């Protein structure tokens, strides 16, 4: 294993939460804790992206976002990483392909908020992602209907596991996904930026 990559025990299950984290906030912390608990994960890695391929405005520098994310997400089973910058990847499918290769004995789960499922069909090779690993979609205020009626949800409706049984997705061969209803948090990075509170 390369020394600059996080360690994962063989056979362990690691949730991947990709994001701009521009900035990280309480909503990210909350969904991470809930995913750990509800899915029974061994670990969660935050993949702080060098830049979302679908967003035209660049975020703050990666090092700034990583440092802030590490301040607010402190949990023994959570690692905040800049893996994509290290691997030189930007598209999620590309990142996952490399992680599968580097961590052959680790089980990965993709975690995302409901707003991301609504747009998921616009991601590069999104069907490959859906068929490559289980996907846990976490409820987000105002986004549940858009997620449930999204092209990705419709195309993969037969592989959806009810939210209360979501931990089953870990034992299923993909495609397997669930919409997990948790008490929601309204926080968003764009609202924090709009209030001028991300001035680091
Ligand atoms: N309050 C929240 N509830 C549920 N999921 C969330 C919440 N905030 C962020 N997420 C999820 O966390 C991941 C990373 O989110 P991101 O870094 O883009 O933050 P954001 O608040 O969505 O940013 P922005 O407002 O700029 O779009 C995404 O999958 C997103 O859906
Ligand atoms: O691979 C893609 O085409 C793709 C398109 C849009 C977003 N993503 C990933 O989705 C995650 C959430 O991004 P964001 O900006 O909504 O926080 C982050 O890991 C991005 O790299 C990936």
For ligand 2, atom 5, which residue shows the shortest CA distance? 123
Distance CA 47, CA 20 (A): 8
Segment 74-103 mean pLDDT: 97
12-51 pLDDT, tens digit per residue, is: 999 999 999 999 999 999 999 999 999 999 999 999 999 8
* List of domains in the chain: 15-100+111-194 (3.40.50.620)
Ligand 1 in reach of 21 Cβ (< 6 A): yes
Ligand 2 in reach of 19 Cβ (< 6 A): yes
* pLDDT class of 58 with cuts at 50, 70, 90: confident
Ligand 1 in reach of 31 Cβ (< 6 A): yes
ipTM associated with this complex:
0.99
* Ligand 1 atom having least distance to the Cα of 191: 25
* pLDDT at position 138: 96
Confirm if 162 and 138 have CB atoms less than 8 A apart. Answer: no
Q: Which pTM does this prediction carry? A: 0.97
Torsion of CA 119, 19, 89, 16, to 10 degrees: -100
Structure tokens at 51: 């830049």
152-191 pLDDT, tens digit per residue, is: 999 999 999 998 899 999 999 999 999 999 999 999 999 9
- Ligand whose nearest atom lies closest to the CA of 179: 1
* pLDDT at position 42: 98
Q: What percent of the chain is modeled with pLDDT above 70?
A: 98
* Cα 111 to chain centroid, rounded: 4
Residues sharing a CB contact under 8 Å with residue 43, sequence separation 6 or more, in sequence order: 8, 12, 13, 14, 15, 77, 78, 79
Ligand 1 in reach of 32 Cβ (< 6 A): no
């Amino acid at each position: 294993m390369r020394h600059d990559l996080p360690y994962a025990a063989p056979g362990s299950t690691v949730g991947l939460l990709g994001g701009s984290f521009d900035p990280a906030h309480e909503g990210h912390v909350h969904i991470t804790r809930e995913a750990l608990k509800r899915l029974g994960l061994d670990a969660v890695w935050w993949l702080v992206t060098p830049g979302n391929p679908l967003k035209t405005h660049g975020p703050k520098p990666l090092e700034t976002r990583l440092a802030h994310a590490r301040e607010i997400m402190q949990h023994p089973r959570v690692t905040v990483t800049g893996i994509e910058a290290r691997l030189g990847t930007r598209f999620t499918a590309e990142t996952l392909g490399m992680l599968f290769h580097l961590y052959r004995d680790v089980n990965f789960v993709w975690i995302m908020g409901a707003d991301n499922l609504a747009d998921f069909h616009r991601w590069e090779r999104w069907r490959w992602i859906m068929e490559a690993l289980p996907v846990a979609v976490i409820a987000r205020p105002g986004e549940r209907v858009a997620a449930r009626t999204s092209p990705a949800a419709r195309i993969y409706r037969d592989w959806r596991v009810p939210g209360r049984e979501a931990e089953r997705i870990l034992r299923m061969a993909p495609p397997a996904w669930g919409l997990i209803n948790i008490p929601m948090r309204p926080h968003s990075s764009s609202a924090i930026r709009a209030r001028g509170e991300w001035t680091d």
